[in-house]
Structure 1
Amino acid sequence: MSKPASPPAPALSIRIDLDPEGRIGPGKIQLLEHIHATGSISAAGRAMAMSYKRAWDLVDELNRICGQPAVERQTGGKNGGGAILTPFGLTLIKRYRGIENAATTAARKELLALKGDIGKKRRF
């Protein structure tokens, strides 16, 4: 009989506060990744169960807080256009994922200790 798999270690969720009004976190980065994969803001929004308006508002916010576009809309074409990530948008994903990986690596020992502490039965 196989042993049940142990639950995964707790994970970090990184949010970068650029200023009080400008934040970059896992949701915005995931949206950029979906836009890159699909070539469409609306398809990326659907993949994340959000409306086109919500997806566009997040893209617009990213472009504004970064002071340069991470996403550019494309016009025309057979299917009416789409969206692409700018070189900055691709760099933004890479840097965010690098920060996320570095933080997870640095916190691994403590995350595993926390997992052990949570898994212990308490005696009162």
Structure 2
Amino acid sequence: MAAPPTTIRLRLLFGEDGTMFGPGKADLLEGIAAEGSIAAAGRRMGMSYRRAWSLVEEMNAAFARPLVDTSRGGARGGGARLTGEGAAVLAHYRALEAQVAALGAPEIDGIARLLRTGAPGR
């Protein structure tokens, strides 16, 4: 039986304050882009609205310009969309993931070959 593919979960830590950007925030940004809503993006990930909103606030505060633009509810309902900066951060992050996977493939395979057959997570 072939081993399942290895998944890379890349977390970036910036500066002394520990600002972090990783797979959860990237997935949330993708969800907001697809759904047009923080709540719907959070539901898509099995995340509460409060947690999703908290992550959006964290990202908007960490970057020089907001990554997500929101509009309040009303007769037409509210919504959310990625700003140009949000789309750029997401694109850079996904490109970096792909580069790490491609360039690191020999090392990842080398580590995988050293795993014990039947080991947890294998």
Q: How many residues align?
A: 117
Q: How far does residue 95 in structure 1 lie from its aligned partner after superposition?
A: 0.1
- The answer on 1:10 being equivalent to 2:11 is no
Counterpart secondary structure, 2:92: helix
Match of 1:109 among 106, 115, 122: 106
Match of 1:92 among 85, 89, 95: 89
- The answer on 1:81 being equivalent to 2:68 is no
Q: Which has the higher contact order (CA 8 A, sep 6+)?
A: 1
- The answer on 1:63 being equivalent to 2:60 is yes
| Residues in 1 aligned to 2:103 and 2:56: alpha-carbon distance in whole angstroms | 30
| Residues in 2 aligned to 1:93 and 1:50: alpha-carbon distance in whole angstroms | 19
Q: Which protein shows a greater Rg?
A: 1
Percent identity (aligned): 38
TM-score (norm 2): 0.86
